[in-house]
């Protein structure tokens, strides 16, 4: 089990690794920093560093985790990157359907592709789909999320780099807000966070405040208006396990996408 210190989840599962920067929120990507460290340590899954790499041997992992967990899918990548084959995405979804005692949280910045292929996927009720929005310029991602067939839809407003004064929360089940952390962290204003919280309360959407961030996020903490905000959407009860779904795992340990024959 890959236990996670991320406040809004319990475990991580990375059936692919590596990514490419697409917007300002990616500037100080923690996954890129961590990938470099893991590569230097000789961790086999990161021999390609932060280049997009399929990890087919990781696909069956959730099936071996018997205790129900909240699982963040691809904390070290983005499942909906343009170079991830749709058949591989379907295999990830097949595992989530089969290991139905877990809840899965997926985040993407590729909201256009998410909408484009959404109808080609079978969405189990235990999959939560979210988009990252760092400032007003990228709020269009919410529109694409709303058009998907995901049963729970959520927003990760992290790192929050500007105000979001007119959020359209229709059809949104959960909102996470957090400041950037680590080297070079950009600041987040309290006014931006309070305004988002108030919009969530007005729309009756659960609000989760992850962190203030900064170079030392432990020192800045998580308190907002003197309290922790840990609201979550209503969780579906675990579904009955599906019949066994065959998962085609390649013989090679990793597949660097640039080397795929498609």
- DSSP per-residue string spanning 188-231: --HHHHHHHHHHHHHHT--EEEEE--BSSHHHH-S-BTTB--B-
The answer to whether residue 59 sits within a structural domain is yes
Q: What is the pLDDT of residue 247?
A: 45
The answer to whether residue 19 sits within a structural domain is yes
Q: Which domain, by its residues, includes 66?
A: 8-108+236-262
Q: How many CB atoms lie within 10 A of CB 44?
A: 11
The answer to whether residue 219 sits within a structural domain is no
Q: What is the pLDDT of residue 243?
A: 39
Record the pTM: 0.91
The answer to whether residue 37 sits within a structural domain is yes
The answer to whether residue 128 sits within a structural domain is no
Q: How many CB atoms lie within 10 A of CB 60?
A: 14
The answer to whether residue 152 sits within a structural domain is no
Output the tens digit of pLDDT for each of the chain's 262 residues. Answer: 589 999 999 999 999 999 999 999 999 999 999 999 999 999 999 999 999 999 999 999 999 999 999 999 999 999 999 999 999 999 999 999 999 999 999 999 999 999 999 999 999 999 999 999 999 999 999 999 999 999 999 999 999 999 999 999 999 999 999 999 999 999 999 999 999 999 999 999 999 999 999 999 999 999 999 999 999 997 544 433 443 444 444 333 455 554 432 2
Cα angle 193, 139, 126 (rounded to 5 degrees) comes to 85
Strand partners, 256: 53
Q: How far apart are CA 16 and CA 19, in angstroms?
A: 9
**Total domains present in the chain:** 1
The answer to whether residue 22 sits within a structural domain is yes
Q: How many CB atoms lie within 10 A of CB 176?
A: 25
Q: What distances in angstroms separate CA 251 from CA 17, 117, 162, 248, one per listed residue?
A: 18, 27, 46, 9
Bridging pattern class, strands 255-256 and 53-54 = antiparallel
The answer to whether residue 157 sits within a structural domain is no
Q: What is the pLDDT of residue 251?
A: 36
């Amino acid at each position: 089990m890959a236990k996670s210190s991320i406040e809004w989840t319990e475990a991580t599962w990375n059936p692919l690794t590596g990514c490419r920067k697409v917007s300002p929120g990616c500037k100080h990507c923690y996954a890129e920093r961590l990938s470099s460290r893991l590569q230097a340590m000789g961790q086999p899954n990161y021999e390609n560093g932060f280049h997009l790499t399929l990890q087919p041997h990781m696909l069956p992992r959730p099936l071996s985790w018997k205790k129900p967990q909240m699982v963040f899918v691809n904390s070290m990548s983005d499942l909906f990157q343009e170079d991830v084959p749709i058949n591989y995405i379907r295999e990830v979804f097949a595992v989530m359907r089969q290991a139905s005692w877990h809840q899965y949280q997926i985040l993407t910045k590729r909201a256009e592709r998410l909408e484009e292929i959404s109808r080609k996927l079978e969405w189990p009720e235990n999959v939560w789909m979210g988009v990252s929005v760092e400032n007003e310029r990228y709020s269009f991602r919410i529109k694409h999320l709303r058009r998907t067939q995901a049963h729970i839809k959520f927003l990760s407003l992290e790192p929050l780099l500007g105000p979001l004064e007119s959020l359209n929360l229709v059809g949104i089940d959960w909102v996470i807000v957090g400041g950037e952390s680590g080297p070079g962290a950009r600041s987040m204003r309290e006014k931006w966070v309070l305004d988002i919280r108030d919009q969530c309360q007005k729309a009756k959407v659960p609000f989760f405040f992850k962190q203030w961030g900064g170079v030392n996020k432990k020192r800045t903490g998580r308190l907002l208006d003197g309290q922790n905000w840990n609201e979550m959407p209503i969780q579906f009860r675990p579904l009955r396990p599906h019949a066994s779904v065959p998962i085609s795992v390649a013989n090679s340990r990793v597949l660097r996408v640039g080397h795929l024959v498609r």
